[in-house]
Amino acid sequence: MLKAAAAKVYQTGLALMLGAAFALASPVALARKAPEASVSVPGFETIAVADLPREGRATYGRILQGGPFTSDKDGAVFGNRERILPRQARGYYREYTVRTPGARNRGARRIVCGGLQPQTPDACFYTGDHYNSFQQIVE
């Protein structure tokens, strides 16, 4: 009986604390943070999201939503071995497949995003030629 009473008091206190926290928080703080404009990286041509191929727009949207992705390799660390993108610590860049109609494999098209939080990248880049060149994606 004593355990049940203690549990009830604990639950009520926890509920009151959560209620107070939500009541005091601003609606803006509770809303899911929208992706901010990516950081401009000098030296790269840009491509607007609207100008990406249809499949690229779909992939970019899935990146910002956190999935689901079409390939099990999506979200894998991109090593930047070509050293075309700005140098960053390993793990900063992640790559995502942009489906290529008619391709039997993943194809050559990718989006590579850099940042500490995959759903809110600092910058994303599109390559249509399997990492030989990149364009920075802008909103």
Mean pLDDT of the chain: 80
SS3 state of residue 124: strand
Known catalytic membership, residue 36: no
Q: Do 85 and 93 meet the contact criterion of CB atoms below 8 Å apart?
A: yes
pTM for the complete prediction? 0.72
Q: Which of 128, 122, 96, 126 has its CA nearest to residue 109?
A: 128
pLDDT value of residue 62: 97
Cα–Cα distance for residue pair 107/53, rounded to 1 Å: 14
pLDDT of residue 23: 40
Question: Is residue 56 predicted with pLDDT exceeding 80?
Answer: yes
Output the pLDDT for position 38.
57
Q: Three-class SS of residue 137?
A: strand
pLDDT computed for residue 111 by the predictor: 98
Residue entry with tokens 């004593």? 2
How do residues 59-95 score in pLDDT, each as one tens digit? 999 999 999 998 999 999 999 999 999 999 999 999 9
Catalytic residue among 36, 82, 130, 139: 130
82 is catalytic: no
Nearest to 135 by CA among 58, 75, 52: 52
For 45-138, CATH number?
Answer: 3.10.450.30
The average pLDDT across 20-45 equals 51
- Distance of alpha carbon 4 from alpha carbon 2, whole angstroms: 5
